[in-house]
Structure 1
Amino acid sequence: MLPTEELNGENQISYEASDQHPKRSRPTKLFLPPEVIAEIISRLPVKSLLKFRSVSKSWLALISSPEFVKSHMSLSFNKNINDRVMEESNLDYLMKNSGMSFLIEGSVNGLLCLVNEVDKIFLWNPAIRKYKKLRNFRYQFRNASHFIYDFGYYKIHNDYKVVRTFTIFGRQGNFQQVNMYSLKNDSWQIIESPWNCNMGQLISSSKFVNGKLHWATIVGSGLERVWGITYFDLADEKWRKVERPCGDGFLVLGVLGTNLSMICNNPTNHMDVWSMKEYEDKQSWMKMFTINYSILHPMECLLYQSFYMSKKGEFLLMFKTAYMIYHLKDNSIRYSQLRKLNYGVLADFYIQSLVCPLSQNEPRT
């Protein structure tokens, strides 16, 4: 019915269709307007769109436009494309031959934040094979240690932010400084430390929810140590607290669906999994389930790890050298060892996108 297909110079597709009537052999051209074309191809995977950029200049401009990139990313998220697993060997891993170990410190909108052994930071989109090495930040202190890196997105300004926290341990007390990088401005700045706001010490990396970076925090020491949840708002750059539903045990933060979630670990070999259904509403914290487990050193295993939930009702809890899968249907638990890797890795959700970490005036690596 549609024997031929053409592309004209106005970003339209034309088809020659025939009604196959013996007395009517003259084909009729049907045109698809640009907005219909954009609507159709925005539902395609990144791999196909990268090929379609070569169709014409108009298609290249369309697929490369910020509006199309945002539309495609939104549709990809809603279709749960992040459920697809990509093997490491398919990622064109840009650090393979560097001879250094790297950690994945965050994943937002198809961009991964990577940090290597010498604290070099990269923003990388493996789907489009583009990456950016962030400019260095000059430290005010030579003995800076205990670095924590976090990655988020400020939607209103369409800006990706890297937050780096380092702690200095000294005889006269500990000191903490926080730096923030803006991809849009390609610059670093010093921001207020959570310690100065009496928010406590940040533990492990953050979880990005609702435009904010969230950390498990500790206030005090010894028997007087209190766990809490602190967040940094990328919009107004202020530190605030999130009220937690339970008071005992240390915390591990995660994201279930799109909700801020947490594990409250108890000393009696069980953990409660909570999820906040309405953001910043303490009454909306809901206990999802309780897991009984037997681990010799749960504090060491859980403190710096994360958890995830699959559509099949499997709860995945990451340890340092292994992971645990809890099946909600029958309350069974299965443990598996992580295969040895020659680089560091932390699990995170990943959605393929066309987002490029480079600005228009930067060379396309």
Structure 2
Amino acid sequence: MGETGDKVSNKTMDKWGEVEYAENVFVNILSRLPVKLLLACKSVCKHWRQVISSQAFIDLQLLWSKKHPVYIVYPFMNLVMELNLIDNGEITKRLTFPYFSNLCPLTIVCSVDGLLCLINHTWKEDSGKIVEDKTDLQIRICNPATRNALLLPKGSPSGETPSIGVAFGPRTNEYKIFRFFCAKRISHAGHQSRGSRRQCEVYSSSTGFWSVIGRAPHYPMRSSHSPMGSTNHVFANGMLYWFIASDTDDKIPGLILTVDMEQNFGTIDLPLEVTEHSYLVSLEGRLSLVVVYDEDETVNIWVLEDENEWELKCSVNVPFPNNECTEFVGAREQEIFFVTSNYYYIYDLDRMSWSELNLPSISEKSYPVAFAYTESLLSCGGRVGLEI
């Protein structure tokens, strides 16, 4: 009896091992499918829906997808967001994301793990007319692959257009948004005074609301190439970075402002002389600085090796003339994506070579942006948020 029972038990364990192995193979194969197919697969049966909807599967799908990032380019703001996915110098896919009703033009400020952060001004009544309210921003997190979006709660009242930065981590699909605003002082009589003070507040996807940090030690520098004066910021190695304007010229960076996930602020010196056409990017998770020198028709690419220790990665001639305005710079792995007035170029740091992208179908530009992008199933509201 004992031997028979042991044989039955062993066979049962073997069968269960086969089931587990088959399930792992199934999940592994499924996780490599495009998001559009995965959304369709959710309707096959209840089991498939449960697998695809689980956080473990969402994390696994992102892991595979991040091994093959592409560029997402938004060249021209119009009534429908026309997003172009570019890989190997060609448009591989076009995504459209219809505007929400009654919105001012949307602009993209960052792209992380398949989620985009969008901002736009709100509307207000002024002298009987409906105009843009330049002192406020609506902030949305959207996933163009799943076509879901989340409108964040309204932040604190501001006397001028706020500036933001988006940080992700420490776990997948957790994020914080830092918002710099100008809080108006209130006099004892209850009236707003002319003076104002710049503060910072943070929105956390884990709580779903804003909390005021307090007075900001510095205010991020505004970009002259954005309709809303949005700031060039980048998240790398667990830190958020913005430019701080120079004391002598508000169009040229003077320092770099930093903040970590525990909301500790600091600054980093810039290497040598920079120009108005300076950009912060992330190269394989490291903070990098791209500086275009129009007169010399050169570009310097720096990488931050240690605190306040910059390494000049390369200094090369640009393939475009100095009368071409550099409108945006993005990065993917060891590539730098340049958007100029009339051209699109990629500089490959490994090969030390330039390539021009022939993209006539998106030649028209209006405040263009280009970011590294990877499809994902991530929720716009984070692990515990609700999408609307």
Q: TM-score, normalised by structure 1?
A: 0.72
Aligned length: 322
Select which of 162, 183, 186 maps to 2:208: 186
CA offset at residue 167 of structure 1?
A: 4.8
Quote the residue 1:221 is aligned against: 248
Which of 244, 263, 276 is the equivalent residue of 2:303? Answer: 276
Q: Please give the alpha-carbon distance, in whole angstroms, between the structure 1 residues aligned to 2:291 and 2:330.
A: 12
Gaps of 5+ in 1: 1-28
Q: Tell me the distance in 2 between the aligned counterparts of 1:283 and 1:327.
A: 20
CA contact (8 A) 1:124 1:357 kept: yes
Say whether residues 1:240 and 2:266 are aligned partners.
yes
Which runs of 5 or more structure 2 residues have no equivalent in the other structure? Answer: 1-17, 73-83, 123-136, 186-192, 223-230
Please identify which structure carries the higher strand content. Answer: 2
Q: Which residue of 2 aligns with 1:34?
A: 23
2:51 is aligned with 1:62: yes
Report the Cα offset of residue 261 of structure 1.
1.9
| Helix, strand or coil at the partner of 2:206 | coil
Aligned to 2:345: 325
Q: 1:115 aligns with which of 119, 124, 135?
A: 119
- Give the number of the structure with larger relative contact order, counting CA–CA contacts within 8 Å between residues 6 or more apart: 2
CA shift digits 1:77-124 (9 cap, x unpaired): 123355881779943413166463111111111111111231222111
Which of 356, 367, 372 is 1:349 aligned to? 372
Task: Report what 1:252 is aligned to.
Answer: 279
With over 3 angstroms needed to count, the CA separation of the structure-2 counterparts of 1:363 and 1:31, relative to structure 1, is closer
* Shift in Å, 1:192: 4.3
Once the 2 structures are TM-superposed, how far is the Cα of residue 187 of structure 1 from its aligned partner? 0.3
What is the one-letter code of the residue matched to 2:213?
I
Q: Which residue of 2 aligns with 1:286?
A: 313
> Could you tell me how far 1:35 is from its partner in structure 2?
2.3
Q: Which residue of 2 aligns with 1:105?
A: 109
Would the aligned equivalents of 1:230 and 1:240 in 2 still touch at CA under 8 Å? yes
Q: How does 1:206-217 map to 2 (within 5 A)?
A: 206-217=233-244
Structure 2: which amino acid aligns with 1:237? Answer: Q
Please say if 1:152 is aligned against 2:167. Answer: yes
Query: What CA distance in whole angstroms lies between the structure 1 residues aligned with 2:21 and 2:371?
Result: 39
Is the aligned partner of 1:202 residue 2:221? yes
1:117 is paired with a residue of what secondary structure? strand
Q: Quick one: structure 1 residues 175 and 202, their matched pair in 2 at CA, closer, same or farther if it must change by over 3 Å?
A: farther
Amino acid corresponding to residue 337 of structure 2 in structure 1: L
Aligned-pair Cα RMSD in Å: 4.1
The alpha-carbon distance between structure 1 residues 80 and 89, as it changes in their structure 2 partners (threshold 3 A), is: closer
- The Cα of 1:152 is off from its aligned counterpart by 2.2
* Deviation readout 1:138-175 (Å, 9 max, x if unpaired): 31x4xx21332322212248521222223589998774
Counterparts in 2 of 1:345 and 1:96: CA distance versus 1, 3 Å:
farther
Q: Distance in 2 between matches of 1:362 and 1:332?
A: 41
The Cα shift of 1:362 comes to: 7.1
State how far apart, in whole Å, the 2-side matches of 1:167 and 1:361 are.
30
Is the contact made by 1:244 and 1:282 (CA closer than 8 Å) also made in structure 2? no
Per the TM alignment, residue 345 of structure 1 is displaced from its structure 2 partner at its CA by: 5.0
Deviations 1:291-328 (A, max 9, x none): 375445x8xx55x73234698x7x53235x54452667
Aligned to 2:199: 177
CA contact (8 A) 1:277 1:286 kept: no
Counterpart residue number, 1:17:
none
**Runs of 4 or more consecutive aligned structure 1 residues displaced over 6 Å after TM superposition:** 86-89, 168-174, 326-337, 359-363
Q: Which range moves more in the overlay, 203-212 or 171-180?
A: 171-180
Amino acid at match of 1:221: T
- What is the CA–CA distance in structure 2 between the aligned matches of 1:242 and 1:100, rounded to whole Å? 35
Distance verdict in 2 for CA 1:72–1:89, change over 3 Å = closer
